[in-house]
Structure 1
Amino acid sequence: MKLTVVGGGSTYTPELVDGFARLRDTLPIEELVLVDPAADRLELVGGLARRIFARQGHAGRIVTTSDLDAGVDGADAVLLQLRVGGQAAREKDETWPLECGCIGQETTGAGGLAKALRTVPVVLDIAERVRRANPRAWIIDFTNPVGIVTRALLRAGHRAVGLCNVAIGFQRKFAALLDTAPAEVHLAHVGLNHLTWETGVRLGGPDGADVLPALLAEHGEAIAADVRLPRPLLESLGVVPSYYLRYYYAHDEVVRELRTKPSRAAEVAAMERELLAMYGDPTLDEKPALLAKRGGAFYSEAAVDLAAALLGGGGSPYQVVNTLNRGTLPFLPDDAVIEVQAAVGPEGPVPLPVPPLDPLFSGLIANVTAYEDLALDAALRGGRDRVFRALLAHPLIGQYAYADALTDRLVAHNREHLAWA
């Protein structure tokens, strides 16, 4: 089995490699290829990756290359984790929206749209080259904004599944609170990428007993603190929103916070410099503890599980993925990309049925889906008017004066990445 990671020079990669080493019985990789144009980072990350495999007794071969076509040649699966423009572009995504009083965030709102515009054309080019190298290869997209990027891939006919670590993070946290194995915790997880709610927590599988009410009653304070929303709100909703719902439910509060502290991008950039220095230590042969603060908790477990299921070697029978709606949420188009529990196998994911949703949730899902459709149109065809329309449709923006000002800022800060600008 050959697996290729595009963006292999990311500081995330040792987390992924550690999972590949630990879970080699689930996903028996013979060759792991790390592809990245940044040769200096790739050398540091690749060296640590080989030492991690050696320490854990993994017999697989690790190859590093800046040649994308060579890297994906013959790959059974290709995992995408790239960041077009790097942390410098992320820093801008998180700051210029604040000038207009809007959320500055890399995956939603105006910053998320900027990232989508930079990313979608690059990912589609990579995907075409993967298809030429191996038409049966699966593409696993971990590149944000996952929903929009995955929709672009699927619309272009690629064998693609989107992946996020929010659900597996909840699964692990709930399992700890329930003092049970994570595999016993089945989430009723529904929504769009970075716009999801846990509407049930079932033990043993999708038909098991729902323990979410008991979880909220017994551990409401801890869960509320984790998602940074008030416990009474969670009790009123009767569900657990993801952390990203805070941008919607407490928008002005978050804007005030973001204006008074360094950006997350600045924090991550500093952390990456420290991590890369660690990776250069030839005695280091395990992922450092600092990596846990970088984000992406349990990312490797989710990636291994998904790749194993898609490639027919095992994996959990049910997994939370980003995939085509196909009637699962009847108020959305079939070609919308949703994030739900699905049965995953070699032919791809099949979403599990979702009970009718409260209009409080379905209304917001429909609104953001409409924005994502307009965002993808802007990413594929360009043009200031398409960018403006997408921003005007986003529920975190919604006013024409904001949308107009944000459009100008987005284009100004991303001109080098926009072929039409």
Structure 2
Amino acid sequence: MKLTVVGGGSTYTPELVDGFARLRDTLPVEELVLVDPAADRLEVVGGLARRIFARQGHPGRIVTTSDLDGAVDGADAVLLQLRVGGQAARQQDETWPLRCGCVGQETTGAGGLAKALRTVPVVLDIAERVRRISPQAWIIDFTNPVGIVTRALLQAGHRAVGLCNVAIGLQRKFAALLGVSPAEVHLDHVGLNHLTWETGVRLGGPDGPDVLPRLLAEHGDAIAADLRLPRSLLDRLGTVPSSYLRYYYAHDQVVDELRTKPSRAEEVAAMERELLRLYADPALAEKPALLAERGGAYYSEAAVDLAAALLGGGGSPRQVVNALNRGTLPFLPDDAVIEVPATVGPNGAEPLPVAPLDPLYAGLVAHVTAYEDLALQAAVHGGRERVLRALLAHPLIGQYATAETLTDELIAHNREHLAWA
């Protein structure tokens, strides 16, 4: 089995490699190819990756290259974890929207749109090369904004599934609170990528008893603290929203906070410099503790599970992924991409039925889906007017004067990445 990681020079990669090494019975990788245009980072990350495999006795071969076509040739699955523009572009995404009183964040609001505009054309080009060279390969997208990028891939007819670590992170957190193994916890997880709610937490199986009321009663304070939302809000909702809902439920408070502290991009950039320094140590043969602070917790477990299921060698038949709606949420178009539990196998991901969604959530899901549709049009076809329409449709923006200003700011800060600008 050959797997290719596009963006293999990422500081995330040792987390992924560690998962491949630990879970080799689930996903027996024979060749792992890390491809990245940044040769200096790739050499450092690739060296640590080989040491991790060696330390854990994994017999697979790790190849590093900048040749994308060669990297995907013969691949069974291609994992995408790229960041167009790097942390410098993320720094801009997180700062210029604040000047208009809007949240600055890499997947939400104007910053999220900027990232989509930079990312979608690059991902589609990569996917076309995969289709030409290895047409049977599955594409697993972990590149943000996952919902929009996955929708771009699926609408272009690619064999693709989107993956996020929010659901697996909550599963692990709830299991710890309940004192059970993660395998016993099954989530009623529903919404869009980075716009989801846990409407039920099933114990023992997907049809097991719902222990969400118990979790909220016994651990509501801890859950609310993690989400940085009031306990009273969780009690009122009766659900557990993803942490990204804070940008909606407490938007103005978040903007005030972001204006008074270093951006997450600055923190991550400093962390990446230290991680690369650690990775360069030839004595290091395991992922360092600092990597847990980088984000992407449990990414490796989720990626292994998904790849194994798609390639027919194992993996859980029920996983939370990003896939085409196909009537699952009847108020959305069939070609919208939603994030829900799905059956996953060699034929792809098919969303499982979900309970009717409360209007409190359905309204926001419909609103953001409309924005994502317009964002994808802007990313694929370009043009100032399409960017403006997407921003005007976003529930965190909406006002025409703000949308006009943000449009000009977005184009000015991303011109080098926009072929049409």
TM-score (norm 1): 1.00
The equivalent residue for 1:147 is: 147
User: Counterparts of 1:30 and 1:381 in 2: how far apart (Å)?
Assistant: 39
2:364 is matched with: 364
Instruction: Give the aligned partner of residue 214 of structure 2.
Output: 214
Per-residue deviation, 1:134:
1.2
* Partner SS state of residue 341, structure 1: strand
Equivalent position SS for 1:354: coil
Partners in 1 of 2:351 and 2:376 — Cα distance?
23
Structure 2 counterpart of 1:134, one-letter code: S
How far apart are 1:317 and its partner, in Å?
1.6
**Aligned residue type for 1:225:** A
> For residues 355-395 of structure 1, what are the alpha-carbon distances to aligned partners after superposition, in whole Å with 9 as ceiling and x for unaligned?
11110000000000000000000001100000000000000
Q: Among the aligned pairs, what percent are the same residue?
A: 86
- 1:343 is paired with a residue whose SS is strand
- Equivalences for residues 34-49 of structure 1 within 5 A: 34-49=34-49
1:33 matches 2:28: no
Query: Aligned partners of 1:408, 1:417: CA distance in 2, in Å?
Result: 15
- How far apart, in 2, do the equivalents of 1:321 and 1:154 lie? 13
Q: Residue in 2 aligned with 1:95?
A: 95
Q: Which amino acid aligns with 1:307?
A: A
Matched with 2:264 is: 264
Partner of 1:409, secondary structure, is helix
Counterpart check, 1:126 vs 2:106: no
After superposition, give the CA deviation of every residue in 1:174-228 in whole Å (9 maximum; x if it has no partner). 0000111101100000000000000000012211100000000000001101111
Q: Which amino acid aligns with 1:414?
A: N
Structure 2 matches for 1:61-210, cutoff 5 A?
Answer: 61-210=61-210
Secondary structure, in 3 states, of the residue corresponding to 1:32? strand
Residue identity opposite 1:362 in structure 2? A
Q: CA RMSD in A?
A: 0.4
**Residue number in structure 1 paired with 2:24:** 24
Separation in 2, partners of 1:160, 1:222? 36
Map 1:290-309 to 2 at 5 A.
290-309=290-309
Q: Which residue of structure 2 lines up, in the alignment, with residue 318 of structure 1? A: 318
For 1:136 and 1:56, the matched residues in 2 are separated by 30
Unaligned runs of 5+ in 2: none
Provide, for residues 65-101 of structure 1, a one-character-per-residue CA deviation record: whole Å limited to 9, x for no partner: 0000000000000000000000000000000000000
Tell whether 2:233 aligns with 1:233: yes
CA distance in 2, matches of 1:293, 1:123: 27
Instruction: Return structure 1 stretches of 4+ with deviation > 6 angstroms.
Output: none
Q: Name the amino acid aligned to 1:60.
A: G
Q: CA–CA distance in 1 between the matches of 2:373 and 2:63?
A: 37
Name the SS for the 2:303 alignment partner. Answer: helix
**CA distance in structure 2 between the partners assigned to 1:343 and 1:222 by the alignment:** 31
Amino acid at match of 1:126: I
Query: What residue number does 2:397 align with?
Result: 397
Counterpart of 1:244 in structure 2 is: 244
Shift of 1:229: 0.6
Structure 1: distance between partners of 2:331 and 2:101: 31
How far 1:141 moved relative to its partner?
Answer: 0.1
1:199 maps to amino acid = T
Separation in 2, partners of 1:229, 1:329: 27
Deviations 1:282-333 (A, max 9, x none): 0000000000000000000000000000000111121000000000000000
Q: How many residues align?
A: 421
Distance in 1 between residues matched to 2:380 and 2:300, nearest whole Å: 31
SS in 2 for 1:144: coil
What SS class does the counterpart of residue 368 from structure 2 fall into?
helix
Q: Which residue of 1 aligns with 2:327?
A: 327
What's the CA shift for 1:148? 0.2
In structure 1, distance between residues paired with 2:205 and 2:310 = 20
Matched letter for residue 179 of structure 1 = G
Residues 19-55 of structure 1, C-alpha deviations (whole Å, 9 max, x = no match): 0000000000000000000000000000000000000
Alignment partner of 2:11: what SS? coil
Q: Which runs of 5+ in 1 are unaligned?
A: none
Partner of 2:186: helix, strand, or coil?
strand
